[in-house]
Amino acid sequence: MDTNGYNFYAQNDAPNHTYSQNIYNMFGGHNPLVDDRYSQLRRYGTLTGLVLIASVVMQTVIGTLIGLSPMWAMYMNDVTYYHAVSIIAQFAYTFLPFLALYLFSKREDKKEILVFDLPKSKELYILALFAGFMFCVIGNSATSSLSVLFSFFEIEFNSGMEGLASPTSALGIILNILNFAVAPALFEEFAFRGVLLQPLRKYGDWFAIFASSFAFAILHGNMVQIPFAFIVGVALGYFCIKTQSIWTSVSIHFLNNLYSVIMTMYFEKNPETGAFTYYILTASAIFIGAIAMVIFKKNCHHKLRKDTSILAKHGAIKKFAFVCAPSMIVSLFIAVDTSLSLATVYSASGRVLLIVLGTLLMYFLFKWTLIAKKDPQLKPRKSYTVSMVLTAVLGGLAILSVFGISG
């Protein structure tokens, strides 16, 4: 057991299988120890993909029911009513699917998921808030830079939430904050830094952080939010683990979204000075956050776990097992399709860029699948072929849809 109380031998396959492992390495071929660990990770990737698909289906069903109801006009025109309904909808399509994933998790995974202890150190918690908010600001700046790059090729991505006015009544403002700041922080952190990240830590903390951030980005389903969600997801996962509390990531998530709500309302009331105020606050957040991060790193002695399992030297296999599970590929291309449906392309060069990006995505999915398929230590599986067919079909449809984007 290390200084952080982590039992390496509970997760490390090697000490218990040293002799048999040497035999497999000597003669090569199928290795049931590697294959079994791979199967466990693939199962979690499959379940995660199914949950993401379920979330999209529930969003579609809820949106359809609202559209067919007599309350549709009120939902579209009454901001207060809109936020009240949206809070309930978030509970249905974010919290409930991941609650189901928790219920279907193995007993040992459930124990790891329930990490609702308060941060061990108040000082580190406060430093993490400033440092985490800095990464949120950086993520927003990176997304803005990406938007500038796309605009250079005359591509415009939307989030689908443009034109939503801020409420003016006290109740409306409260519901606005609950909808955009409180509900996402609670539901999404339970889902991604609780249900998803914690069981994946047995494969290494950095793998768990990146895998959960990848799924977090997919959930947001549009190019305005996907890059931002991934960057912020990495920061939230990092501080959640380092402070040993999910409440740290909940707080950072809430702080970032609250800042966004306040700045949106401020921009609407002060269009002349809004940009100047935003740049001043952004610079201040980065400056203070950088100082907080340095102090945090110096005083936080809780180390990130390394992968001590038998998959430690099989990075490509881990990527395939999680990212290239058939259900994950479907959820990924649903996000791609949603992004394209919200895009406007005004030039041929823009279409070429989107086709190149789509081709690159397909290339990496094919590459990781082939590496796993050719690995002699893993037994042959139909899922390899299914993943490649889904990548080819859905990727091809996504590329074809680029030609149908109006400009």
Spatial CA neighbour of 52 closest among 382, 342, 329, 357:
329
Contact of 256 with 273, CB cutoff 8 Å: no
Tokens, residue 82 = 């809109």
pLDDT at 25: 52
The DSSP element (H or E) to which 86 belongs, if any, is helix 79-90
Domain ranges of the chain: 30-160+169-306+313-402
pLDDT at 236: 97
Residues of the chain with pLDDT under 50: 1-19, 26
Task: Give rounded-to-5 percent helix, strand, coil for the chain.
Answer: 75, 0, 20
Contacts of 120 (CB under 8 A, 6+ apart): 243, 244, 245, 302
Helices (H), 243-347: 246-269, 274-299, 315-323, 326-341
pLDDT at 320: 85
pLDDT at 309: 77
Length of the chain counted residue by residue: 407
**Model confidence, pTM:** 0.88
Give the relative orientation of helices 122-152 and 226-242 as an angle to the nearest 10 degrees: 160
